[in-house]
Copies of this chain bind each other. A is one copy, B any other.
Amino acid sequence: MQTRTTPAGRTGRPRSAAADAAILAATRAALVELGWSRLTLGDVATRAGVAKTTLYRRWAGKNELVVDAVAELFDELRLPDRGSLAADIEGAVLQFAAILSRPEAKSGLMAVVAESTRDAALRERIRASIVDRQKRLVLEGRARAQARGELPPENDPEEAARTVDLIFDVVAGAVVHRTLVSAEPADEEWVRGFTRLLLRGLVDASAQEAQKALEA
């Protein structure tokens, strides 16, 4: 990821750029086959056709390596304009769910989060590489909804930032929990229900549901 590519000095043999990519790809492959806990750095090095030392020269350990390997997965998230806030949310959540359903993300993400509870540097790396990077989606979605008139413009920038964080926690948290803890697919149906809840709230959702049931 960031500035791991050759440090200060200019002399000496430069670091192989290809090695970085090979290592991250090998890490994801190993996550798929073995999962987090059975993944070993020796094995990753072998898969990447690289010496263990090369790997340790660039990453401090398994945690840092996996964060970088997983972070790349989330960079493919896009937010195409689907015409309405609800549709935009559904689209983003589905994409997020699709990534989380991939075994390399499943295995790796929660593991590094768990590790990060005791390692502030790791926590910061996760935040920088993954969390903050993807908050852009929330910001973009809100701006678009405001342009459409679906949401009012924010007046208090601090409050607005808090809301972005809250929404991110709710969305990411719900999808992760659904996918990893409940271990059920976050499919279109579930995403529709979740989006309705997020937009309209529990009271309204319950009322609608009761209404529907009555009609049927």
Contacts and interface: CB of A to CB of B under 8 A. Distances in A.
B166 A210 contact: no
Contacts of A106: 117
Chain A contact surface mostly: helix
Contact of A156 (B156, B204, B213): B213
Given A110-B114, A201-B199, A169 B177 contact: yes
Interface in A180-216: 180-184, 190, 193-194, 197-207, 209-210, 213-214, 216
Interface in A142-156: 150-156
Contacts of A44: none
A interface, size bucket: 35 or more
A163 B131 CA distance: 28
B201 A116 contact: no
A154 B216 CA distance: 13
A162 interface: yes
Contact of A178 (B114, B118, B173, B199): B173
7 contacts: A35-B115, A113-B181, A155-B214, A163-B206, A166-B193, A172-B177, A173-B178
